[in-house]
Structure 1
Amino acid sequence: MDLSKKLIAGLMLSACVLALGLAGCGGQKAAGPAKETVLKVGSDTAYAPFEFQDEKSKEYVGFDMDLIQAIGKQIGAKVEVQSMNFDGLIPALEAGNIDAAISAMTITEERAQKVNFSKPYYKSGLTIVVKSDNNVIKGFKDLEGKKIAVQIGTTGADEAKKVKDAQIREFNTAPEAFMELKAGGVDAVINDRPVNDYYIKEAGGKDAKQVGDPLTSEDYGIAVAKKNTELAEKINKAIDELKKNGEFDKIYQKWFGTKS
């Protein structure tokens, strides 16, 4: 190779290094920053104290919201919450529109045929709420022939439909069911006990009261698509770690006043 060719080759090599830096001279692209993992989570965000929108900040808050954020941090994912009606959560999982659903969802055999559930993270039960001056309804048997408000797609709705001659009014959210009770449109509401507790607490016990013993004992779980066993395993591991390091109890105590 003569001097001129060596000079040209050297100039080409210098230009290549300057243009592509660490990427090299072969059309290879420089490696960019690792893409952030996003966990798309669906929730019915009108179900205090589990998930609801803060009036001031407009952020989604509640026990479930704190828990899923902690789980996301544990598995190294950014959590993005999508608000949707409760009865649309499982279809959204099946369609792949969301990765997980956390919404005070009771683990049932019927639902477990469609989705994978995490291990239980909360134990609940259904209770009856009536107006404070109602002394007729004292338990489940007294609901026969009465008007009952429920949230659509919930186990409360399923239980209400078992009541003989009852007139069932289904609403998209729990607050709507309570508003109907307050307005006198129904005689009772059947819903999860912690949600009923929170409603009565916020109302100062003036508008409503709970009657009778819990109708059921229920476990809440986080749902993922049936085929997404890997994510279900990661969530279960995260729940175990959060319980072990005390973070779960901190979140629980924040919203319910006691340790889990």
Structure 2
Amino acid sequence: MMKTGLWKKVTGVALVGALALSLAACGSSSASSTKKADTKTGLAALKEKGTITVGMMAATPPYEYHLVQGGKDQIVGSDIQLLDKVAKELGVKYEIKDMDFDGLLVALQGKKIDMIISAMSPTAERAKNADFTDVYYKGRNVMLVRKGDVNKYKTAKDFANARLTTIKTSVQEGIIEKELPNAQLKLLGKSTEEAIDLANNKVDGALVDIPTAILLTRGNPNIALSKVYFEDPSAGAAIAMPKGTDPEIMKAINKVIKESKPQYEEWLKKATNNVKDI
């Protein structure tokens, strides 16, 4: 049996310990509550982040391309003008990560970039790995050929067994695979590479969108637009966001797209006129 003095000491220690645990629990609960209160989501979280990383293939003028002025290399184009307005609406700054087109969605899934603005079409396959905004532009496609072959290729059937090229994982790749399944298809990373291969007789035709085609012919006197056009079977060009993007963020971006659609055509024309070499 414990002595009375010892019992009092033990009881006192126990009470102090219990009180300390109680205070610790309260403190933990309070800190947890404060942390939860400070945690921001959606647009507020994005603004707090401050800067986003935007992925694009900056080799597709007039949409996005490198321009060196005064010794400074910058990326310009119609998509950049759209990006400026999107960033302003979201309340963030942006950094551009330039990469091949077929690596963009992989980078988005791997959280190496926060969005893609690169004239990307929201196909059903891509929608499995990304959320897409509303479409901001839709155009047509034309087959480029060497100048001396313009009269040789008058219809799509003339390209049935030809050597063709386009950008890997692009909408144009899908068009060729569907419309010209027997053609020998060479997939490349940049539109400039397509023009070089075509001019050097490594391929017979290159399928690109019309604004890009105009610029490629301007920079390469040996190639020309054929009379063979293909409609864009996709919805058009949209901005790709990570899967599960907060609806508030998507709403803000779509607001910008709706307001900018009439301007985008003008941005495209201006960017086309401003391209000197490609």
Bucket of the pairwise TM-score, normalised by the shorter protein? 0.7 to 0.9
- 2:77 & 2:136 partners in 1: Cα distance? 14
The answer for the alignment partner of 1:53 in structure 2 is 66
SS at match of 2:215: helix
Alignment of 1:87-236 (within 5 A): 87-134=102-149, 135-162=151-178, 163-203=180-220, 207-218=223-234, 219-230=236-247, 231-236=249-254
Q: Which portions of structure 1, spanning 4 or more consecutive aligned residues, are displaced by more than 6 angstroms? A: none
- 2:122 maps to a residue whose letter is I
Report the CA distance shift for 1:136/1:91 in structure 2 as closer, same or farther (over 3 A). Answer: same
Identify the residue that residue 257 of structure 2 maps to in structure 1. 239
Q: 1:47 to 1:252 in 2, by over 3 A?
A: closer
- The answer for unaligned runs of 5 or more in structure 2 is 1-46, 274-278
* Pair member with larger Rg: 2
Cα deviation digits, residues 7-38 of structure 1 (max 9, x gap): xxxxxxxxxxxxxxxxxxxxxxxxxxx95611
| 1:135-180 CA distance string (max 9 Å, x none) | 2112221111110011111111122223142111111111101110
Query: Match for 1:238: what amino acid?
Result: V
Label 1:232 to 1:130 Cα distance change in 2 as closer, same or farther (>3 A). Answer: same
2-side partners of 1:193 and 1:253: how far apart? 12
The residue that corresponds to 1:255 in the other structure is 271
- Name the amino acid aligned to 1:133: G
1: CA distance between counterparts of 2:222 and 2:203? Answer: 17
| Residue 98 (structure 2) aligned to one of 63, 83, 106 | 83
Greater helix fraction, Structure 1 or Structure 2: 2
SS in 2 for 1:59: strand
| Displacement after TM superposition at 1:47 (Å) | 0.7
> How much identity, in percent, do the aligned residues show?
27
Cα distance, 1:160–1:252 mapped onto 2, change above 3 Å? closer
SS in 2 for 1:96: coil
Offset at 1:189? 0.3
Confirm or deny: 8 A CA contact 1:44 1:86 kept in the other structure: yes
2: CA distance between counterparts of 1:35 and 1:239? Answer: 23
- Which amino acid in the other structure matches residue 131 of structure 1? R
In structure 2, give the amino acid aligned to 1:198: L
TM-score, normalised via structure 1 length? 0.77
TM-score (norm 2): 0.73
Q: Could you tell me how far 1:91 is from its partner in structure 2?
A: 1.2
Opposite residue 228 of structure 1, the aligned amino acid is T
Please give the alpha-carbon distance, in whole angstroms, between the structure 2 residues aligned to 1:191 and 1:242.
Answer: 24
1:217: how far off?
Answer: 4.6
What per-residue deviation string (whole Å, max 9, x for no partner) do you get for residues 168-207 of structure 1? 111111110111001111100012222112222344x653
Distance 1:153 1:249 in 2: 25
Separation (CA, whole Å) in 2 of partners of 1:165 and 1:131: 21
Q: Is the 8 A contact 1:116 1:229 kept in 2?
A: no
Q: Which has the higher strand share?
A: 2
| Matching residue's letter, 2:79 | D
